[in-house]
Amino acid sequence: MKSIYQDKKFAEYWNKRAGDKGEAYKRYLLDPLMFDLIGNLKNKAIIELGCGNGYLCHEFLKQDPLKLILMDISPYNIEHAKQKCDNDKRVEFLQHDATTPWPIKTNTVNVVYSVLVLNEMDDIKTPIDETFRVLKQNGVFIVSVLHPSFDLFQFAKEQAGIKSKKFDSDFEVAHYQRPLSDYFNQFVLSGFAVKQLLEPPLSEELIKNNPGFLEYKDHPIGLIFMCVKE
């Protein structure tokens, strides 16, 4: 799979944009909700699928996991992530295309965490199948994607002549618009039990810190799935 994140200039731009705490929507809404769903991570083995610049490294490590694998397709993202993890021996870095078989042993991981990554992949079957394979029994796959209705809202704006970009920059990022059923059905076909589905409304904290999100107040942006390997 080719990705804009494999471009060094974009990876540098993304590192500045995400900073040490992630973009606003992730920082104030998605990540807090997803961490609440997965609960205690002490002594657990975790993979972050699509770790980006590694802004979540310290959030994982402060819960004292057994191991944290940061996986990303971009060698430049991995380098940025290494700078954020303070040479912690619990952290492993894996530069890998998640749409190809993963070099990780079967039944060895407790949690796979992925935030707004699957919607940028042309193939979601392989990463979901591989997640199921590497998880132990009762392991959790916590994943967020862009909401299909957000895509439709953006499309309606464009039809009305309002220029819309996912990023306020000169870069174009791949995005695959899918109905909710594509994700749900693939989770089930791969063997998962889907335990929760959240369509989080925008929080007051997010809007307070980023008033530009008021435009989307009545339009859900993200979907969160909590899936379990039973």
Q: What is the pLDDT of residue 28?
A: 96
Predicted confidence at residue 175, as pLDDT, reads: 81
Q: How far apart are CA 135 and CA 164, in angstroms?
A: 38
The Cα–Cα gap between 69 and 75 comes to: 14
pLDDT digits (tens, 9 = 90+) for 116-149: 999 999 999 999 999 999 999 999 999 999 998 8
The 10s digit of each residue's pLDDT in 190-220 is 999 999 999 999 999 999 998 988 888 877 8
Which stretch of DSSP H or E encloses residue 172? Answer: none
Residue 2 confidence (pLDDT): 66
Q: What are phi and psi of 79, to 5 degrees?
A: -65, -40
Q: What residue ranges do the domains of the chain occupy?
A: 4-228
- Predicted confidence at residue 160, as pLDDT, reads 67
Fold assignment, 4-228: Rossmann fold (3.40.50)
Cα–Cα distances (Å) from 40 to 92, 131, 136, 213, in that order, read: 20, 20, 16, 31
Residue-level pLDDT at 156: 61
Please identify every stretch of the chain with a pLDDT value under 50, giving residue numbers as ranges. Answer: 165-167
Whole-angstrom distance, CA of residue 53 vs CA of residue 82: 8
The pLDDT score that the predictor gives to residue 166 is 47
